[in-house]
Structure 1
Amino acid sequence: MTSEPPAAEPAAEFSAGVPGLLEAMRAIGTDLELRSTLDRICLIAAELSGARYTAIGVMDEAGDDYREFVTYGRAGDLLERIGVPIRVRGRIFGHLYLADRRDGAEFSSQDLHMMRVLATAAGMAIGNARLYEAARQRERWIDGSVAVTTALLSRGEAGDAADPLTVVAEQARRLAEADAGIVLLPAEGGGLEIVAVCADTPGSRLGAVFPEDSPIVSALLDGESVFLDDAATESSRSDLADSYGPVMLLPLESGGRVLGALATPRARGARRFTETERILAAQFASQAALALMMAEAQRDRERLAVLEDRDRIARDLHDVVIQRLFATGMMLEGGRKDEESAEVRTGIGRAIDELDVTIQEIRTAVFALQQDTSEEPAGLRTRVLREIKTAAVPLGFVPAVRFVGDVDSAVGEPAGRNLIAALREALSNAFRHAHAGRIEVTVDATAALPDGTPAVRLTVADDGVGVPEGGRRSGLRNLTRRAEALGGSSSVETGVDGAGTTVLWQAPLGTGAD
């Protein structure tokens, strides 16, 4: 920063000699902000020495380069100048420079002596400012960690739908004063995948996967931090950030478990991360990982509570409501047989049909309640087995089942969904009418329709009394309607002397309609 001396502030404000120097030293210690402290030192040096130009450079923590370089005034040819080191407990913090006296004279030994004394005072002031800055920096990182924890654990309250990984990326970018905050998680095929980015152009990086044989990825997955001073020049190691300059790559590790990694890159040519920043960032990453694990555990508890409640409701529906409806239907069946009025029998039949539909709807709701919505939908084989297990309760025995072909992968979802509905109807009819002692279910994914179209075929055969003469056929009509909507067919065959019934339902493998 370069500025001219304010015209309204005369040089006489700080008189030459010891009194002015003592006043200057007292003035230097009144500010704890590093930048304003450096500005004040440059101004005081100019006033005490009569220099047109002063500058102060503060070294970085490694002592390799200037972290800050502040100037005051404008120099002429800079031929006459003084440069004195700024030391604190024997360590060089920086340098103080003077050039171009206003009166044209050379700098005297008294000027040099005063500048050395001023440099000593400046060193103490810079040291205090650094301590203050470090304390403020630690406070910011702690506040950031608290913000991440609060955001993750309160997620879902008051309509907050922020993605937890995005919250981590945003806070990391802000606290590290980086160009981007990037969160990576283990990819399915190995390596690390970018899953959250906070940057000016985040979309271009999302989904990128870095191989597990990368030195950086290997180190991160082993729980080690990686720091690059210039990712662009360290091409053999910087495959995660080769378009950036300084970058911190930190494992998200808690309790010995590495959840992923956090990257905070800066632009090319930006200042390197200090040792303090590295330590604070590593602590932040550990806290973020712990918060993520706590949030995950909290969501698991909430999900478990919901599933337990759904399971209770499903049990009540199945064990109480459905059984009462079955009993009501059986009583109505008995009443219809004894009723002489045809009109009354027809009305009772309609009521029984409505009860059947209600039972099927409740059973569908029971299955939906028992399905964990966070999981992938169950395969057709699993759904068939669930249906048979459920039907075993009213039947009093478990129907036999056989699968032919790869029913899970070969049968499309629409065909599978309607097949389950057809199986449910066939088992329900067998319970209500057949009085069977054995039922055999076959699901064949290698069947074909008469025209040769690959199909799935459901066969439900029982050893009961067959379809009663003039019995209700609404369920059988439902089977036919579902099959024909898919381009398939449905039929019912009765055995010799009316003993036993076989329901045959089939539909193309991949076609779909509800």
Structure 2
Amino acid sequence: MTSHAPSDPAAAASTATRGLQGMPGEFAARVSQLLESMRSIGASLDLHSTLGSIAETAAELARARYASIVVIDSASGDLADFASYGVDEVDRDRIDDIPDTTLTVPIVVAGENLGDLVLAEKSDGGAFTRQDRDLVRIIATEAGIAIGNARLYEESRRRADWIDGASAVTTALLSMADARDALEVVAEQARSLANASAVGVLLPHPDGEGLENVAVSAEDPDGIVGTVIPWYSPAATKLREGEAVFVDDTASDPRMITKLGRRFGPCMLLPMRSGTRVLGSLVIARQRGDALFTESDKTMAAQFARQAAVALVMSEAQNDRERLAVYEDRDRIARDLHDLVIQRLFATGMMLQGAHSAAEADDVRERIDKAVTELDLTIQEIRQTIYSLQQQPPDAPTGVRGLVLREIAMASAPLGIEPSVSFVGPVDTVIDPATARHLLAALRELLSNAQRHAQATQIGVVIDATAMLPEGRAAVRLTVADDGVGLPDESERRASGLRNVEARAQSLGGSVWTEAGLGECGAGTSVLWQVPAAVPA
């Protein structure tokens, strides 16, 4: 994509008309009409409708019955857009069979051919003239400006999305106690941003065998987690050296030697590098036949991988500091117990033993003996506590409520709105850890789905720990409701992420269904995900 596209259509058209002085008055009038039409079209960012208006203007001013604008994808060479005027009224193949009455002008901006503007069949039955060609060239310039502006806008919007995604990843890595959950957030964010079919996070295998896939976000995740790319693989070798690998077709690329590696189409393998240290790799893949990754895609994804690596290093450092602070605090408590509490208990015991010798009544001696025994037991318990404090503490668990709130906070930036959230029942005690993991993954998927498809202005999340299954078993119910455009049709359902959510529920013996959303008259969608409160043993 060129970064030098003009941004003022009228000025560009004015430049294109220089040197046309002296043309017949009729042509000058048509140019004036063209400039007025261009001003009315404006700088709309809706590229397809703008190109349609330009095609209509071209047909009217050149007195052609049919006009079309063909836009070519700069990366793959495939058709990126097609706008037309009058073409629906005839068989398009017939236009190609009329070379004498067809006028084709390339759309070129900054030396890059973006497509063609094609006119067919003069309304008077004659041939297109030189004046028609000059006029259409001016219109092609306008089309190029519209395409260039739209691409610039799309790139800036997608760059902002990648920045928001990197921010969400940093938040996740710095706040999540479970590293695996944090890496899944990395995979899910990258998949959404790159419009990919599957994304995996690879870390060095503990046994040094290669790179192991430890977290994945995919339409079909079966057989991906746990796979290892051996170090002798050409791709793994490049990644270990901190170099990115870009593959247009994994099935035919000799660098992809694993069966899993040849399962997809266009693929980016990006090192997660911080300084000279390579922590792992981010693999972003699309299905076979999908669009190739553009240079802009590659640049933004590589920056995202580096940001994820920096966040991972910061997370490690923060965890180390937190563990050190815990150790220091535990050591201080242990010293205080040993130096102060135990010494005072010893002194109290010795005082009681002195009182025992002076006591005359048997019942007093008995009570003193009992008190000394209790002190001895207390000292033993304190010593055991000191020993426990000197052991490495386990990671402090985080409740379901806190994890849900953290997910909501991380989703707010890419969504552009802050979802509301409410809890029903004792969610921290009813929902077991295994069920909580699936619930959080389903929540992330549904929020990501809302971001990509719903176009919502309101999103509400409810976690209900008091739900019941039809057979009377305790259940947990997740509801994500919005006021957006509604569910996609069945052909888009897989791409929307709902299939993943349904599969998670079914694997736990639960179900997923939809109801009316938050908008007026029930507009939008509510997705309800319900599973047993505890995973069956």
Measure, in 1, the Cα distance between the counterparts of 2:107 and 2:60: 19
- 2:319 aligned residue (295, 299, 308): 299
What code does the residue aligned with 1:121 have? Answer: E
Match of 2:202 in 1: 184
Q: Distance in 1 between matches of 2:243 and 2:179?
A: 32
Please tell me whether residue 124 in structure 1 is matched to residue 145 in structure 2.
Answer: yes
Paired residue type of 2:198? A
Q: Which residue of 2 aligns with 1:38?
A: 51
The structure 1 residue matched to 2:219, chosen from 192, 200, 205, is: 200
TM-score, normalization by structure 2: 0.60
Matches within 5 A, 1:189-228: 189-190=207-208, 191-202=210-221, 204-228=223-247
Where does residue 364 of structure 2 map in the other structure?
Answer: 344
Would you say the 8 A contact 1:28–1:122 is kept in 2? no
CA distance in structure 1 between the aligned counterparts of 2:131 and 2:215, rounded to whole angstroms: 60
- The counterpart of 2:342, out of the listed 308, 322, 326, is 322
96-105 or 209-218: which moved more? 96-105
Question: Given that residues 188 and 217 in structure 2 are in contact (C-alpha distance below 8 angstroms), is that contact kept between their aligned partners in structure 1?
Answer: yes
- Check the 8 A contact 1:193/1:207 in 2, yes or no: yes
Letter in 2 for 1:143: D
After TM superposition, what 4+ stretches of structure 1 lie above 6 angstroms from structure 2? none
Q: Say if 1:285 and 1:96 are closer, same or farther in 2 by CA, change over 3 A.
A: same
Query: Which of 56, 63, 86 is the matching residue for 2:69?
Result: 56
Q: What is the SS of the residue equivalent to 1:143? A: helix
Map Cα deviations across residues 312-350 of structure 1 (whole Å, 9 max, x no partner): 111111221122223333443454455554433333332
Q: Distance in 1 between matches of 2:64 and 2:330?
A: 82
Alignment of 1:365 onto 2:385: yes
Number of corresponding residues: 359
Q: Which of 128, 136, 140 is the aligned partner of 2:161? A: 140
Distance 1:188 1:155, change over 3 A: closer
Counterpart AA for 1:332? L
What is the alpha-carbon distance in structure 2 between the residues aligned to residue 46 and residue 241 of structure 1? 49
Aligned to 1:167: 185
Structure with greater contact order relative to length (CA < 8 Å, sep ≥ 6): 2
Q: Once the 2 structures are TM-superposed, how far is the Cα of residue 219 of structure 1 from its aligned partner?
A: 1.4
Q: Deviations over 1:101-129 (max 9, x none)?
A: 66766555544443233212222332233
- Displacement of 1:161: 10
Q: Which amino acid aligns with 1:223?
A: G
State the alpha-carbon separation in 2 of the partners of residues 352 and 325 from structure 1: 10
Q: 2:251 aligns with which of 232, 238, 257?
A: 232
Task: Measure, in 2, the Cα distance between the counterparts of 1:212 and 1:374.
Answer: 33
Distance in 2, matches of 1:214 and 1:28, equals: 54
Counterpart residue type for residue 174 of structure 1:
S
| Whole-Å separation in 1 of the counterparts to 2:125 and 2:390 | 92
> Are the structure 2 counterparts of residues 135 and 331 from structure 1 closer, same or farther at C-alpha, using a change threshold of 3 Å?
same
> Once structures 1 and 2 are overlaid, which stretch shifts more, 298-307 or 283-292?
298-307
Question: How has the CA–CA distance of structure 1 residues 255 and 119 changed in structure 2, closer, same or farther, with 3 Å as cutoff?
Answer: same
User: Aligned with 2:265: secondary structure?
Assistant: coil
Contact 2:56 2:84 in 1 (8 A): no
TM-score normalised to structure 1 length: 0.62
Q: Residues 162, 219 of structure 1: CA spacing in aligned structure 2 closer, same or farther, 3 A cutoff?
A: closer
Partner of 1:482: none
More moved, 186-195 vs 116-125: 116-125
Rounded to whole Å, the distance in 1 between the matches of 2:176 and 2:137 is 57
Structure 2 gap ranges (5+):
1-27, 396-537
Rg larger for: 1
Superposed CA offset, 1:409-451 (max 9, x none): xxxxxxxxxxxxxxxxxxxxxxxxxxxxxxxxxxxxxxxxxxx
Task: Give the conservation status (yes or no) of the 8 Å contact 1:34–1:133.
Answer: no
For residue 40 of structure 1, give the secondary structure of its aligned residue in structure 2.
Answer: helix
Q: 1:115–1:179: structure 2 CA closer, same or farther, 3 Å change rule? A: same
2:119 equivalent in structure 1: 98
Structure 2 residue matching 1:189: 3-state secondary structure:
coil
Asked whether the equivalents of residues 197 and 285 of structure 2 are also in contact (C-alpha less than 8 Å), the reply is yes
Q: Secondary structure at the match of 1:259?
A: strand
| 1:218 to partner: Cα distance | 1.7
Contact 2:104 2:118 in 1 (8 A): yes
Contact 2:76–2:292 under 8 Å retained in 1:
no
